């Protein structure tokens, strides 16, 4: 217990560097990332990550911080995107000329406007009622987008050209790397703003409403107003993310506001961990990597994502960030070393088991979908013939041995875990 | 016109009763556990696929009996080893779990059965027009669907109100702790009801598969509509679900059948519109075009003005 | 831990594939179409046809430019415009200069726009867009551009051919139009109204209906309505699940009228509709299937079925696309997209069926003979979905008669 208190004290009395260190690090990281990942597709993937980070963080303002489960958050993202793409076309037509850099603001504003409208009736209650309204609104807007072609462009969406605006410092955003820095700046600003929002009294009240809305009413706050404000702020940031999407892809279509995108943002936030501010960031990065990398190597990547999602909900409700955060007490007590060996001992068989299972799935999938006579397939660069017995034996061995060893290694892991997290002996005697 | 109304009425009732088979299970599960099961329609899809596979080897009728049982057992397993495990993390986690499960089941179905539409057909003895009215056929299979749905409704009603098991279920729903005190195994009841709900969804899938197509997207197409029914009828209300199912079924068929559009109204009031304006799509909007979004409109309106639904007693 | 290993494995694979790519000097065609999700069946079918066409028609004949082979690189776009653009970036990064895509006009619109911008911004590594199936007329009219070539007949051309058939069927007096509520469905309906007015002013259009795409679970209400309208022919551009549903529902009401369609065959549709659509469903398409046209095609078809017994040659234009690209590269003397594009413009070509096709220079629209076939199980040599049912050609409209004027004003690069 007192360790946590100490940690809190340390945070409170943090020096300038401690307080702004993470932000400087973030800024530095954003600046230097393209030097390490300089290929075209890497930059493009990072652009996508930046957009999704903002979107997922805005979603977590609802779910993680406000306790509102939304199944229609893509509405604000998509509407923000559509508005921005229209603005880019206005710029091209010389109707309303502003640098393309500030276009996401308009996306944010339309997100805010719709959040105000929808929030005025949907935030009256949390829980199932809120979730159902968000679902209904999501379906309504998504269907409308195919009917109202003038604004939404029907199935093919609306496209624009981002290079048509006045140049900012000689940059016309023709190249992706220029867009990367545009997104990075926006991401930095919005992440900071959303973080600050969570630290304001308003942000704290949102947490309180999430935890116990009745008590909030008793101490004189309106739970509805608190939820409404969170909801509007969330819509605003989702709209900004949509605006950045419009700039990056130069096209916005119905898929930006349909139920699938709403589901994806829930997935990202939850896999990352809704209980932490950085959770959705982790989730957005991991999900984008899965989506763009994994899908290049396996056709059944969605099956893996589904399994990952369901197992996260079942076994790690705090998400990936939660798994990392679990190690903080041990780290503070300088006991992570205790865990190293048990992790390796349990990790290797687990990897074998997972390799066996996914090898099984991949091979089955290949056998069923490949052309006749095409019996060779390659996994991780290893080529083999699916119609011989050998690969199946290897897979079976991997699963059985991996599974057995994983099971036998679990007790020692649990023991080591308990040891690493046991209270310090000195605690019993007071302060050290 | 009469022909159109007559057949629309029939079709609406067939659709409505089919929806009720799904909605009844969903609403029972909700009143018991307080969780809206997003994966409910996925069990409907599983029913269709399992029955399809069985029908390849043993024929339609075996599938009709066995597939719902298989799906029911699967549902019970999901409750026992999934939902009950997640329960400790709270309601939101449970909701998200079922949401993820729906996603996962769709992927598993695609993995096992592939991505194309399956040629799952009605049994031969039901492939004839039952009657012809104004030259239009009414397929016997539709009548069979109607019969099964009504049979299920009556059976459900009798079991819940007249049998001892029904009384225990009702008790477990309203006062789970008290029921447990009286010596009933409440978790077992929950598992049983969940399994039964899934079996009902599976049965709906078995009989709907041949009529509406057996393909990986069939759960998504129906999933949110069933949600709408349960919410509109009132969460946890079986009678409400019944009325709402029929309402939605009829609403959808009649919205398609009746060709009215905004421009008709405008013409009636002598208002002319500009064909190039940004609102041009609004003026040409017709009832059939918006038929599929009417349920969602209804859902949002109900939630705003009567959050308990038409016949519900509680909000969540 | 799992993620980390995934990344490492991914990186390892990426390096490996990069090496493999450098080892053999091939001309890469990036195939960007759905390989997962609800439309995967169509995408994987198209991919198999591309692979077979490239092997059979180019590589086994010694490649192009004295031995350079073609290679198909598959990219999964999940039928989403966004994913398609990501995959386009990746493909360009991996040295692909020819992009093939066909499923969904929405995706094609996004790609043609993105490729136009890319070529303008990166004149050093331009790419060419080979559209083998997306038929929105706008792509070769208002939205046409130099880098886009369409090998399928567009929706207007198909409707033109279809209405030529209806013109002579004097027993058709009332027609019902039904389609999906999006750009393609609307352009089919608009074209039908326009051509029918021109060719058969006496025909009454008793219904012009649009339904939401992919959201209708039961088509019975629509079928009831069609039935009640007294129509004696139906025209629809529906595809996928929407086509299956509509076909079945119309069959069940006992309505016995011809249904003119664009996409009511293969990928499970033929099998599902089966007997209920016999002699009712008609399809407008290129590439005749039954009766077999030529020995060359027969051999090609049988070779494909031997390799892919579960799949069909559902899009014959894929063979044309591959052959014409090879011919254009030979003609240009190099594989620079801009030269190949200039060689493709106005190219005349004889297909495996022995038909003469022309890539019209003004709008890059292929002009080719169009066939109207009936869904039947009689006289079928090459069936679809291994169901015994297939398409039997009833009418053929000559290439010259299908050509329509274009509004395209193409800007050509210097």
Measure the CA–CA gap between C99 and C96, rounded to whole angstroms.
7
Residue A277 pLDDT > 50: yes
Average pLDDT, chain C: 87
Residues C87 and C160 in one domain: no
SS3 C1: coil
3-state secondary structure of A306: helix
All partners of chain B with 3 or more CB pairs under 8 angstroms: A, C
Residues forming a β-bridge with A383: A378
Question: Where does the pLDDT of residue B274 fall: very low under 50, low under 70, confident under 90, or very high at 90 and above?
Answer: low
Structure tokens that stand for B305 in this block: 């003005």
The residues facing C208 across adjacent strands are: C177
Q: Strand C348-350 to strand C356-359: parallel, antiparallel, or no bridges (unpaired)?
A: antiparallel
- A244 versus C40: the higher-pLDDT residue is A244
Which CATH number does the domain housing residue C209 bear?
Answer: 3.40.50.2300
Peptide bond into C291 cis (omega under 30): yes
Range of A263's domain?
10-325
d(CA A257, CA A151): 13
Neighboring chain A residues of C3 at a CB cutoff of 8 Å:
286, 289, 320
Q: Is residue A1 part of a domain?
A: no
Q: Find the mean pLDDT for residues C186-204.
A: 92
Residues B244 and C108: their CA atoms lie apart, in Å, by: 41
Question: In angstroms, rounded to a whole number, what is the distance separating the alpha carbons of residues C200 and C233?
Answer: 13
Q: What angle do CA A107, A207, B83 make, to 5 degrees?
A: 95
Is residue C235 domain-shared with residue C376, that is, in the same domain?
yes
B139: Cβ–Cβ under 8 A, 6 or more apart, which residues? B122, B126, B127, B128, B129, B130, C252
Is C160 in the same domain as C73?
Answer: no
Residue C195 maps to a domain: yes
Listed range (A224-238, B236-250, B256-270, C49-63) with the worst mean pLDDT: B256-270
- Spatial separation of the C-alpha atoms in residues A42 and A45, rounded to whole Å: 5
| Cα angle C271, C274, C279; round to 5 | 135
Radius of gyration of chain C (CA): 21
Give the pLDDT score at B42. 94
- What pLDDT score does C8 carry? 47
Could you report the per-residue pLDDT of C51-69, keeping only the tens digit for each? Answer: 999 999 999 999 898 889 9
Residue B278 has pLDDT above 70, yes or no: no
CA distance C184 to C342: 29
Do A390 and A313 share a structural domain?
no
The alpha-helical segments, DSSP class H, found in A15-102 are 16-36, 40-66, 74-92
Q: Are residues C190 and C111 in the same domain?
A: no
Domain boundary among A264, A295, A325: A325
- For A45, residues 6+ apart whose C-beta sits below 8 A from its C-beta are A288, A289, A292, C86
Question: How many domains, chain C?
Answer: 2
Residue A418: Cβ within 10 Å count: 9
Asked whether residue C198 falls in the same domain as residue C231, the answer is: yes
Q: What is the pLDDT of residue B3?
A: 79
The rounded distance, in Å, linking the Cα atoms of C117 and B154 is 64
Q: Is residue C378 located within the same domain as residue C325?
A: no
Distance CA C175, CA C385 (A): 30
Q: List own/partner pairs for C114-122 with CB under 8 A and 24 or more apart.
A: C114/A250, C114/A251, C114/C85, C114/C88, C115/C88, C115/C147, C115/C148, C116/C145, C116/C147, C116/C148, C117/A161, C117/A250, C118/C88, C118/C92, C119/C147, C119/C413, C121/A163, C121/A174, C121/A175
pLDDT at B6: 86
Are residues C29 and C54 in contact, defined by beta-carbon separation less than 8 angstroms?
A: yes
Contacts of B291 in chain C (CB under 8 A): 211-212
Minimal Cα distance from C255: which residue of B?
A: B136
The H-or-E segment that residue A408 falls in is: helix A390-421
Q: Do A310 and B281 touch (CB under 8 A)?
A: no
On whether both C133 and C216 belong to a single domain, the answer is: no
Looking at the fold, whether A158 and A282 belong to one and the same domain comes out as: yes
CA–CA gap between residue C159 and residue C139 (Å, rounded): 16
> Given a cut of 50, is residue C37 above it in pLDDT?
yes
Show the CA angle centred on residue C365, arms to residues C360 and C371, nearest 5°. 105
Query: Which of chain A's residues have a Cβ under 8 Å away from the Cβ of C7?
Result: 289, 293
Between residues A70 and B114, which one has the greater pLDDT? A70
**Would you kindly state where each structural domain of chain B is located, as residue ranges?**
7-305
Buried b (16+ CB within 10 A) or exposed e, A381-414: eeeeebeeeebeebbeebbeebbebbeebeeebe
pTM of the model: 0.86
Domain count, chain A: 2
Q: Quote the CA–CA distance of B249 and B253 in Å, as a whole number.
A: 6
A382's CB contacts (< 8 A; 6+ apart) are: none
C265 or C322: whose pLDDT is higher?
A: C322
Q: Does residue A369 fall inside a structural domain?
A: yes
Please tell me which residue, C121 or C254, carries the higher pLDDT value: C121
Query: Which chain B residues touch C271 with a CB distance below 8 Å?
Result: 119
Cβ–Cβ below 8 Å for A67 and B315: no
d(CA C2, CA A323): 13
Measuring CA to CA, how many Å separate C176 from each of A195, B7, B50, C248, C259?
58, 19, 37, 17, 9
Q: Is C6 on the interface with A (CB under 8 A)?
A: yes
Are C136 and C231 part of one and the same domain? no
**Start-end of H helices in chain B:** 2-33, 40-58, 60-78, 84-86, 91-113, 140-162, 164-174, 176-181, 186-212, 218-233, 238-257, 262-268, 280-283, 287-290, 294-305
Residues A74 and A159 in one domain: yes
Mean local confidence (pLDDT), B34-49? 90
**Residue C103 and residue C241 in one domain:** no
pLDDT range class, residue C101, cuts 50, 70, 90: very high
DSSP C353-371: TS-EEEE-TTT-BEE--EE
Rounded to the nearest angstrom, the minimum Cα separation between B130 and chain A is 36
C279 plus C190 within the same structural domain: yes
Please judge whether C271 and B135 are an interchain contact, meaning their C-beta atoms are less than 8 angstroms apart. Answer: no
d(CA A136, CA A130): 10
Closest CA in chain C for residue A350 = C2
- Tokens representing B13 are 């009732």
Over residues A82-126, the pLDDT tens digits come to 999 999 999 988 888 888 888 999 999 999 999 999 999 888 888
Closest chain C CA to residue B251: C221
pLDDT given for residue A153 in this prediction: 83
Asked whether residue C285 is assigned to any structural domain, the reply reads yes
User: Which chain C positions have a beta carbon within 8 Å of B292's beta carbon?
Assistant: 212, 215-216
| Containing structural domain, residue C225 | 156-289+370-402
- Residues 6 or more apart from B241 whose CB is under 8 A from it? B20, B23, B24, B26, B27, B229, B230, B233, B234
β-pairing, C390-397 with C370-376?
A: antiparallel
Residues C215 and C133 in one domain: no
Q: What is the pLDDT of residue B13?
A: 92
CA distance C6 to A284: 16
Q: What is the mean pLDDT of residues B77-94?
A: 87
Q: What are phi and psi of C33, to 5 degrees?
A: -155, 165
- At residue C14, the 3 state secondary structure works out as helix
Cross-strand bridge partners of residue C391: C375
pLDDT tens-digit profile of A288-337?
Answer: 988 877 877 777 888 888 898 898 888 888 889 988 888 888 888 777 77
SS (H, E, C) C172-211: CCEEEEEEECCHHHHHHHHHHHHHHHHHCCCCEEEEEEEE
Answer whether residue B113 shows pLDDT above 70.
Answer: yes
Amino acid B314: pLDDT? 60
Angle A176-199/A201-211 helices, nearest 10 degrees? 70
Q: A164-185: per-residue pLDDT in tens?
A: 877 777 778 888 888 999 999 9
Average pLDDT over residues A127-155: 85
What is the predicted pLDDT for the residue at A430? Answer: 40
Give the whole-angstrom CA distance, residue C107 versus residue C31: 13
% residues pLDDT > 70 (chain C): 93
In a domain, residue A4? The reply is no
> Predicted ipTM?
0.85
- How big, in percent rounded to 5, are the helix, strand and coil portions of chain C? 45, 20, 35
pLDDT at C218: 81
Is B33 exposed, middle or buried, given 0-12, 13-18 or 19+ CB atoms closer than 10 A? buried
User: Which residue matches tokens 């002579």?
Assistant: C168
**C259 pLDDT more than 50:** yes
Residues C107 and C219 in one domain: no
Same domain? For A319 and A343 the reply is no
- On whether both A86 and A169 belong to a single domain, the answer is yes
Structural domain includes residue C101: yes
| Helix A336-369 and helix A390-421, axial crossing angle in degrees, nearest 10 | 160
- Measured at the CA of A337, the angle between CA A333 and CA A340, to 5 degrees, comes to 135
Model confidence pLDDT, tens digit, residues A22-50: 888 888 988 888 888 888 888 888 999 99
Give the ranges where A200-258 is alpha helix by DSSP (H).
201-211, 213-218, 223-249
Rounded Cα gap, residues A4 and A314, in angstroms? 27
Displacement of CA A300 from its chain's centroid (Å): 21
Is the Cβ–Cβ distance between A173 and A247 less than 8 Å?
A: yes
Q: How many CB atoms lie within 10 A of CB A126?
A: 22
A149 with A284, same domain? yes
Q: What percent of chain A has pLDDT over 90?
A: 31
DSSP per-residue codes, B175-243: -HHHHHHTT--HHHHHHHHHHHHHHHHHHHHHHHHHHH-B-TTHHHHHHHHHHHHHHHH-TT-HHHHHH
Cβ contacts below 8 Å, chain B against chain C, sum to: 99
Class of domain B7-305: mainly alpha
Q: Are C367 and C338 a contacting pair, CB within 8 Å? A: no
Do C224 and C253 meet the contact criterion of CB atoms below 8 Å apart?
yes
List the CATH number of the domain containing A285: 1.10.3470
Inter-chain CB proximity C105 and A156 less than 8 Å: yes
Residues A160 and A194 in one domain: yes
Residue C407 lies in a domain: no
Q: Say how far apart CA A327 and CA C355 lie, in whole Å.
A: 70
Residues A413 and A340: their CA atoms lie apart, in Å, by 10
Residues of C with CB under 8 A from a CB of B: 37-38, 40-41, 181, 207, 209-212, 214-218, 220-222, 224-225, 227-228, 241, 244-245, 248, 252-255, 267-269, 271-272, 274, 387
Residue A254 and residue A116 share a domain: yes
């Amino acid at each position: 217990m007192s360790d946590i208190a100490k940690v809190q004290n340390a945070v409170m009395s943090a020096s300038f560097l401690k307080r702004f260190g993470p932000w400087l690090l973030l800024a530095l990281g954003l600046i230097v990332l393209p030097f390490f990942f300089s290929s075209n597709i890497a930059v493009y993937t990072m652009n996508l990550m930046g957009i999704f980070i903002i979107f997922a963080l805005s979603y977590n303002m609802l779910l993680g911080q406000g306790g509102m489960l939304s199944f229609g958050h893509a509405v604000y993202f998509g509407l923000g995107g559509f508005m921005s793409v229209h603005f880019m076309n206005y710029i091209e037509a010389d109707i309303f000329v502003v640098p393309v850099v500030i276009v996401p603001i308009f996306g944010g504003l339309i997100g805010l406007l719709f959040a105000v409208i929808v929030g005025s009736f949907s935030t009256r209650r949390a829980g199932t009622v809120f979730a159902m309204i968000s679902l209904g609104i999501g379906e309504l807007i998504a269907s409308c987008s195919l009917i109202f072609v003038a604004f939404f462009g029907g199935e093919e969406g609306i496209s624009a050209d981002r290079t048509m605006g006045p140049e900012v410092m000689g940059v016309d955003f023709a190249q992706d790397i220029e867009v990367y820095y545009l997104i990075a700046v926006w991401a930095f600003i919005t992440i900071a703003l959303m973080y600050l929002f969570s630290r304001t009294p308003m942000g704290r009240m949102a947490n309180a409403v999430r935890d116990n809305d009745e008590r909030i009413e008793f101490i004189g706050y309106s739970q509805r107003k608190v939820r409404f404000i969170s909801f509007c702020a969330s819509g605003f940031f989702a709209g900004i993310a949509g605006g950045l999407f419009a700039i990056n892809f130069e096209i916005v279509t119905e898929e930006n506001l349909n139920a699938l995108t709403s589901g994806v943002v829930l997935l990202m936030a939850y896999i990352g961990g809704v209980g932490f501010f950085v959770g959705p960031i982790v989730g957005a990065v991991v999900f984008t990597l899965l989506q763009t990398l994994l899908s290049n190597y396996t056709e059944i990547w969605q099956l893996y994502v589904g399994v990952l999602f369901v197992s996260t909900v079942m076994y790690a409700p705090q998400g990936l960030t939660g798994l990392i955060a679990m190690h903080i007490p041990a780290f503070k007590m300088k006991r992570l070393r205790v865990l190293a060996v048990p992790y390796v001992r349990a990790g290797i068989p687990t990897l074998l088991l997972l390799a066996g299972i996914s090898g099984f799935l991949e091979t089955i999938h290949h056998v069923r979908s490949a052309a006749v006579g095409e019996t060779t397939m390659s996994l991780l660069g290893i080529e083999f013939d699916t119609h011989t017995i050998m690969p199946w034996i290897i897979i079976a061995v991997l699963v059985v041995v991996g599974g057995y060893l994983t099971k036998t290694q679990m007790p020692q892991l649990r023991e080591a875990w308990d040891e690493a997290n046991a209270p310090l002996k000195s605690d019993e005697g007071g302060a050290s | 016109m009469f022909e159109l109304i007559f057949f629309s009425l029939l079709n609406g009732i067939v659709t409505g009763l089919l929806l009720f088979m799904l909605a009844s299970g969903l609403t029972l599960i909700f009143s018991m556990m307080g969780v809206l099961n997003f994966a409910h329609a996925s069990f409907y899809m599983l029913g269709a696929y399992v029955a399809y596979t069985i029908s390849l080897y043993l024929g339609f009728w075996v599938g009709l009996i066995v597939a719902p049982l298989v799906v029911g057992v699967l549902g019970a397993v999901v409750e026992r080893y999934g939902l009950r495990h997640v329960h400790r993390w709270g309601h939101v986690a449970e909701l998200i779990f079922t949401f993820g499960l729906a996603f996962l089941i769709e992927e598993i179905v695609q993995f096992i059965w592939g991505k194309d539409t399956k040629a799952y057909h009605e049994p031969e003895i039901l492939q004839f027009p039952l009657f012809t009215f104004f030259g239009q056929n009414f397929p016997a299979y539709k009548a069979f669907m109607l019969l099964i749905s009504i049979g299920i409704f009556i059976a459900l009603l009798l079991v819940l109100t007249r049998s001892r098991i029904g009384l225990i279920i009702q008790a477990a729903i309203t006062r789970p702790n008290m029921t447990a005190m009286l010596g009933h195994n409440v978790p077992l009841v929950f598992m049983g009801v969940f399994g039964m709900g899934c079996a009902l969804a599976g049965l709906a899938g078995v009989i709907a598969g041949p009529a509406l197509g057996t393909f990986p997207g069939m759960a998504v197409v129906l999933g949110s509509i069933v949600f709408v029914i349960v919410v509109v009828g009132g969460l946890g209300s079986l009678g409400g679900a019944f009325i709402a199912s029929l309402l939605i079924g009829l609403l959808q068929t009649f919205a398609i059948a009746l060709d009215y559009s905004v421009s008709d109204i405008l013409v009636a009031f002598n208002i002319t519109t500009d064909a190039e304006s940004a609102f041009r799509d609004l003026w040409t909007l017709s009832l059939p075009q918006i038929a599929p979004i009417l349920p969602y409109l209804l859902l949002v309106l109900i939630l705003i003005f009567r959050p308990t639904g038409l016949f519900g007693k509680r909000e969540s | 831990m799992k993620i980390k290993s995934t990344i490492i494995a991914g990186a390892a694979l990426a390096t490996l594939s990069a090496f493999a790519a450098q080892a053999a000097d091939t001309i890469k065609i990036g195939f960007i179409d759905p390989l997962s999700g609800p439309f995967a069946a169509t995408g994987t079918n198209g991919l198999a046809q591309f692979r077979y066409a490239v092997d059979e028609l180019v590589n086994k004949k010694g490649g192009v430019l004295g031995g350079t082979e073609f290679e198909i690189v598959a990219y999964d776009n999940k039928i989403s415009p966004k994913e398609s653009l990501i995959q386009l970036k990746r493909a360009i990064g991996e040295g692909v200069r020819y992009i093939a895509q066909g499923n969904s006009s929405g995706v094609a619109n996004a790609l043609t726009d993105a490729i136009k911008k890319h070529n303008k911004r990166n004149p050093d590594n331009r790419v060419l867009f080979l559209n083998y199936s997306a038929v929105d007329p706008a792509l070769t009219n208002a939205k046409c551009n130099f880098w886009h070539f369409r090998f399928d007949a567009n929706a207007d051309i198909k409707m033109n051919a279809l209405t030529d058939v209806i013109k002579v069927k004097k027993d058709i007096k009332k027609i019902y139009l039904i389609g999906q509520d999006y750009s393609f469905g609307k352009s089919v309906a608009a074209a039908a109204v326009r051509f029918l007015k021109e060719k058969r002013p006496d025909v009454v259009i008793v219904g012009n209906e649009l339904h939401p795409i992919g959201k209708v679970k039961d088509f019975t209400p629509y079928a009831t309505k069609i039935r009640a309208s007294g129509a004696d022919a139906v025209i629809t551009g529906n595809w996928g699940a929407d086509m299956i549903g509509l076909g079945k529902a119309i069959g069940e009401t006992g309505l016995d009228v011809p249904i003119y369609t664009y996409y009511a065959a293969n990928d499970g549709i033929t099998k599902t509709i089966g007997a209920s659509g016999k002699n009712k469903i008609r399809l407008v398409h290129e590439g005749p299937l039954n009766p077999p046209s030529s020995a060359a095609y027969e051999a090609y078809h049988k070779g494909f079925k031997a390799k892919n017994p579960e799949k069909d040659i559902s899009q014959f234009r894929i063979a044309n696309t591959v052959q014409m690209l090879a011919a254009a590269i030979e003609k240009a003397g190099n594989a620079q997209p801009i030269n190949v594009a200039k060689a493709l413009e106005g190219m005349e070509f004889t297909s495996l069926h022995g038909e003469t096709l022309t890539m019209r220079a003004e709008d890059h629209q292929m002009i080719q003979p169009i066939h109207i076939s009936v869904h039947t199980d009689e006289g079928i040599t090459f069936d679809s979905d291994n169901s015994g049912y297939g398409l039997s050609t009833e009418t053929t409209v000559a290439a010259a008669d299908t050509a329509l004027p274009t509004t395209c004003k193409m800007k050509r690069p210097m």
